[in-house]
Structure 1
């Protein structure tokens, strides 16, 4: 398997194999990729846009190529911030993550004082690449026991080897958020390749959370030194990956939390009442 940072320039028609839990899709392409890993979706300068080097800034408003449902509402745009989060309604530039529910919806794989003005790169793109859509669809059907779902839109944002503001060490974090939708169902993947620092000088620690504007779900270890354990944990049995169904006001996720987290709890969530393993543990997490 090629290193996550390796670059494979595809100048001729070659086969690419996307690998991941529940999916191994071999495709043909003439596109140049910086290959991801089994965890990270493909990213890099050959396919992505690059967020400007700015301590608390980010790229322009992202106008979506598909109207996408998030938390019970349809969206045609959202904001992306270098500090490790997506804001769905308003442009937030605060480097300090909220410690409680706020009145604006956001998706935060790692909200902290990220500073890419010195080191690190932040990539992003929307795509309807057919091979990637097949790969994503296969994964989600495995995670959420979906029968009728075919992804038509993907957004990928990757923070590669980023530091916190004023860092004096060589510690770097690499993480990713992937949004996948068919215009009716929407899913978010938080992928953690490397978390070597847990926040900005512990003031405060970083936040990993999904907030619908009235309430939120926070990942285990958030706002504590245990934030870095998300790399070894998962709720879909793929180390470093956390997956959520986020199109409705209710959030759903599946499988067993694994790894060194403050909360080790088994949850089995599904959009509809279908047969699943360990149905005695079938639960529904509703924002409240």
Structure 2
């Protein structure tokens, strides 16, 4: 009998290893259980950061609501300002200054900065859960640091704070279909640099009933970067796209007023680390993208 148990344990460990070389288990639990529906605890992978009821808080099951204002455990820079709190909404976005409850993504310029992996009329009152947490778990910090050093060619960076919000198998208001979306926003900072990861595991619906298509965007208060396909039926293609060579993941540097992604970050990184040259950024914005021109 002991031999049988030993073989089963070995097969279980092999299965976890094959599921993703970067899979980790946080110290909050010594076991991991998965079900066909909502999981109590989920292993990390190349895409989704660990989440679940064993490590996270649950956002209220509400149509257009969310948790109370979130007080951050450390001050974090976003878009050129330091923040000690922000707001999270069930409708798929974070608002940095005000509690915004609108289920409709903005169609014109607004006065507040936000981070929206999937702004639409999400409704988890019937099905789907929304998790969130702040953490300084040492294993997760090391993992996040390693990823960002690869994506942005960072020389000196060690994450000290992480925020993870996960929308798991959520539906839209009035939905009568089996379509569900699972996506995640991860914020990572060392107190000077801040990064956002938008992770898309499943996007089966691009808009709510008779409504506009969802918005995936980062807005600094004056200009925005909108992800490819956003506000169109191609929104669901974000699960197969990437800007960091990890399918379904989009990564951005968001501590300064300029939104950087991997192609434009190298100059900024050199400026911060070596201070051996002067860089001038000229930002040209249109309705859908930020265009960064750099002169040395």
The TM-score normalised by the length of structure 1 is 0.82
- Correspondent of 2:196 among 188, 197, 200: 188
Structure 1 position 38, deviation (Å): 1.9
CA contact (8 A) 2:103 2:119 kept: yes
Q: How many residues were matched structurally?
A: 251
Structure 1 residue 272 corresponds to structure 2 residue 269: yes
Residue 151 (structure 1) aligned with residue 148 (structure 2): no
What SS does the corresponding residue of 2:250 show, helix, strand or coil? strand
Secondary structure of the structure 1 residue equivalent to 2:246: coil
Equivalent of residue 127 in structure 1, options 135, 144, 159: 135
Equivalent of 1:209 in 217, 231, 236: 217
Shift of 1:251: 1.1
Partner of 2:81: 73
Cα deviation 1:86-127 (Å, max 9, x = unaligned): 000000000000123311000000000000111000000000
The Cα offsets for residues 177-208 of structure 1, whole Å up to 9 and x where unpaired, read as: 00000110000000000000001125210000
Q: Does 1:169 align with 2:177?
A: yes
Q: What SS class does the counterpart of residue 186 from structure 2 fall into? A: strand
Report what 1:102 is aligned to.
110
Q: 1:206 to 1:26 in 2, by over 3 A?
A: closer
Determine the C-alpha separation between the residues in 2 that align with 1:230 and 1:81: 21
The residue matched to 1:213 in structure 2 has which SS?
coil
1:253 aligned onto 2:261: yes
* Contact in 2 for aligned 1:78/1:86 (Cα 8 Å): yes
Mapped contact 1:249–1:286 kept (Cα < 8 A):
no
Structure with more helix by fraction: 2
Aligned counterparts of 2:47 and 2:183: Cα–Cα separation in 1:
10
Q: What is the match of residue 29 of structure 1?
A: 27
Distance change >3 Å, CA 226–CA 202, structure 1 → 2:
farther
Gaps of 5+ in 1: 1-15, 255-266, 275-283
Partners of 1:78 and 1:176 in 2: CA distance: 17
Q: Give the match for residue 125 of structure 2.
A: 117
Question: Radius of gyration: which is bigger?
Answer: 2
4+ long deviations beyond 2 Å = 23-34, 267-274, 284-288
- Equivalent-residue separation in structure 2 for 1:224 and 1:194 (angstroms): 16
Gaps of 5+ in 2: 1-15, 31-40, 272-280, 286-296
Could you tell me whether the CA contact under 8 Å between 1:186 and 1:246 is conserved in 2? yes
Q: Which residue of 1 aligns with 2:252?
A: 244
Give 1:34 shift: 2.3
1:7 is matched with none
2:76 touches 2:83 (CA, 8 Å); kept in 1?
Answer: yes
Greater strand share, structure number: 1
Cα distance change, pair 114–252 in 1 and its aligned pair in 2 (3 A): same
RMSD of aligned residue pairs (Cα, Å)? 2.3
Evaluate the alpha carbon distance shift between residue 171 and residue 141 of structure 1 in structure 2; reply closer, same or farther with a 3 A threshold: same
Q: Structure 2-normalised TM-score? A: 0.80
Q: Distance in 2 between matches of 1:117 and 1:178?
A: 24
Q: Does the 8 A contact of 1:217 with 1:287 survive in 2?
A: no
Distance 1:36 1:28 in 2: 9
